Amino acid sequence: MTATPTSRAKLPLLVLGQGTDLHTERGVECPGDLPPASDPGLVERARAAKAALGDRVFVLGHHYQRDEVIEFADTTGDSFKLAKEAAARPDAPWIVFCGVHFMAESADILTSDEQTVILPDLAAGCSMADMATMDQVEDCWDDLVDAGIADRVVPVTYMNSSAAIKAFTGRHGGTICTSSNAKTALTWALDQAGDGGKVLFLPDQHLGRNTYARDLGRPLEDCVVWDPHRPMGGLTKEQLDAATMILWRGHCSVHGRFSVEAVEAARREIPDVKVIVHPECRYEVVELADEVGSTEKIIKTIAAAPAGTKWVVGTELNLVRRLGQQFPDQQISFLEKNVCYCSTMNRIDLPHLVWALESLVEGRVVNPIRVDPQVAHDAKVALDRMLALPGETHKD
Ligand code: SF4
């Protein structure tokens, strides 16, 4: 098949707040009384609502959230750690997830049916997760079937993906990975694929490439990039046959901005500096760094460093700023000169959190995240495969 591989693909190009597609623009307008951001009583209202709810609510805060939101988090962490923390609190009927949509979905999959996961602003999505839609991934698989290689392809899907893509991965014998365990997951998948086998890595091309070439020391030339907007992913049958890694053409709009020039400038301007970056950064940037790791690893590495260590950090700005406050004995700088917040993470602000909490106090559950049971089942198959990986305990 060559002519219509992207026929089912939808390419939403949407300016939020236009009111033209109310389903897609979900969360832009909140029903009820969303307090204005200028309300001087917001902090007190959040405290009062949380106190009134007591142990019935558990608030999760991703590392990239604003300080004003993190202040009300019962625990902080990366996406998978937070989902597991939610599952470890079966007595809390309400889980308020201060993060983005795919994270709340994962929490819903891993928590019990009696628990409800709430995302304070439904417009808090993830540009990377949105780069792989279900239609596009199914079209890709159809093409791999037509190319005669699908039976030798094992999908590995990054946590930062929709529940539907995780479910696809479960149905096709693949596993989920995190930025902490991508090396283990990829080693397992290559082993499953066998001689001449291939891995389809979704949706972050950079994490896939960095893990394969840098962590496993395998040749970059084994990697091809599947562009979902082009027939056959923009590849020939010969290129697919020769490849071992088929990298989905997705990336993080935050980590993708860190540049080689910024690393070089940091080394010029700060003597003895250490550069630490997230593996969602581009390969050339990761190659120049002293340390590479997940948000949890970045935090632990800096925490363990002696006073006086100079760091330039390539990850989301809210986290880097907090690290600077937490470790004043170290010199911590941000890798880019331009402001680099995750704009969708930042949609969760104090007015939305107060609105979600006060609604619960009034007996109303707003913005529940409910994954379709069949999708949740198939996604959990892939998540369970990850948990069964050799030595895997999700080492942050
Ligand atoms: S930082 Fe990147 S991967 Fe994480 S939520 Fe934002 S856009 Fe998605």
* 245 and 158 belong to one structural domain: yes
Same domain, 221 and 299: no
Please check whether residues 165 and 121 belong to one and the same domain. no
- Best mutation site among 103, 119, 126 for ligand 1 pocket (most ligand atoms within 8 Å of CB): 126
**Considering 253, 276, 293, which residue would you say is the last residue of a domain?**
253
User: How many domains does the chain fold into?
Assistant: 3
CATH of the domain at 285: 3.40.50.10800
Last residue of a domain, one of 206, 237, 253: 253
Cα(381) to ligand 1 centroid in Å equals: 24
Do 137 and 242 fall into the same domain?
yes
Which atom of ligand 1 lies at the shortest distance from residue 280's CA? 3
Alpha helices by DSSP H, the chain: 42-53, 67-70, 79-87, 101-110, 127-130, 134-146, 163-171, 182-193, 205-209, 237-242, 260-269, 283-288, 295-304, 317-326, 350-361, 373-387
Are both 232 and 137 inside the same structural domain? yes
Segment 146-183, tens digit of pLDDT: 999 999 999 999 999 999 999 999 999 999 999 999 99
Whole-number pLDDT of residue 32: 58
Q: Tell me: do 118 and 136 sit in the same domain.
A: no
Residues 146 and 189 in one domain: yes
pLDDT for position 83? 83
* Residue 337 pLDDT class (50, 70, 90 cuts): confident
Domain extent, residue 301, equals 255-334
Same structural domain for residues 70 and 58? Answer: yes
Same domain, yes or no: 223 and 153:
yes
Given a cut of 80, whether residue 366 has pLDDT beyond it is yes
Among the atoms of ligand 1, which is closest to the Cα of residue 160? Answer: 3
pTM: 0.89
